């Protein structure tokens, strides 16, 4: 990776994204922006993992629906790396509410609702570090160079 602010972040393709067959579309958008996939796994998130993942939302009115949705089916967890990966990934995914998400973003183009909004993307470096540790061990990251990486 070229010089610059290289960061790692977590992206989850939620059950609605997997069920709708949008994994390739979402991963493709990340890769076309120059982000590198360091690790990926398909899993079913347990209620316990969901509670740890969404701990900061506990007690909020939407918390139960978050837990119910993220545990309702398969999820693709991705460890993504790149320059300014956290804000860049958030720009690609778009605003949480798909009705206000910009056209050209994952949610603006494809999402159907606020909770079933296709993806989760860490909102800060601190959240990214905490969330990545929930889904991946350091040994699961694969180091490699992308063709053309010097341009990213």
Whole-Å CA distances, 116 to 20, 33, 112, 145:
11, 24, 7, 34
Measured distance between the N- and C-terminal CA atoms of the chain, rounded to whole angstroms: 7
Based on the residue annotation, tell me whether 120 is a catalytic residue of this protein: yes
Q: Is 82 in contact with 7 (CB distance < 8 Å)?
A: yes
Q: Hey, is 6 helix, strand or coil? A: strand
Q: What's the longest Cα–Cα distance across the chain?
A: 46
Provide the strand spans (E) within the chain: 6-13, 36-43, 75-83, 119-121
Q: Which residue has the tokens 């999402």?
A: 111
- The secondary structure of the chain in percent helix, strand, coil, rounded to multiples of 5, reads 40, 20, 40
Catalytic residue among 53, 57, 69, 120: 120
CA distance 138 to 122: 18
Catalytically active residues are 120
């Amino acid at each position: 990776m070229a010089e610059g602010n290289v960061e790692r972040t977590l992206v989850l393709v939620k059950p609605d994204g997997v069920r709708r067959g949008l994994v390739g579309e979402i991963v493709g958008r990340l890769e076309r922006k120059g982000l590198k996939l360091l690790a990926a796994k398909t899993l079913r998130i347990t209620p316990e993992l969901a509670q740890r993942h969404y701990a900061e939302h506990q007690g909020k009115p939407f918390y139960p629906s978050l837990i119910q949705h993220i545990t309702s089916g398969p999820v693709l967890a991705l460890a993504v790396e790149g320059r300014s990966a956290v804000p860049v990934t958030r720009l690609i995914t778009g605003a949480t509410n798909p009705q206000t998400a910009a056209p050209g973003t994952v949610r603006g183009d494809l999402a159907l609702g606020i909770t079933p909004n296709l993806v989760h993307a860490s909102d800060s470096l601190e959240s990214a570090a905490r969330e990545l540790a929930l889904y991946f061990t350091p040994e699961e990251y694969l180091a490699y160079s992308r063709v053309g990486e010097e341009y990213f």
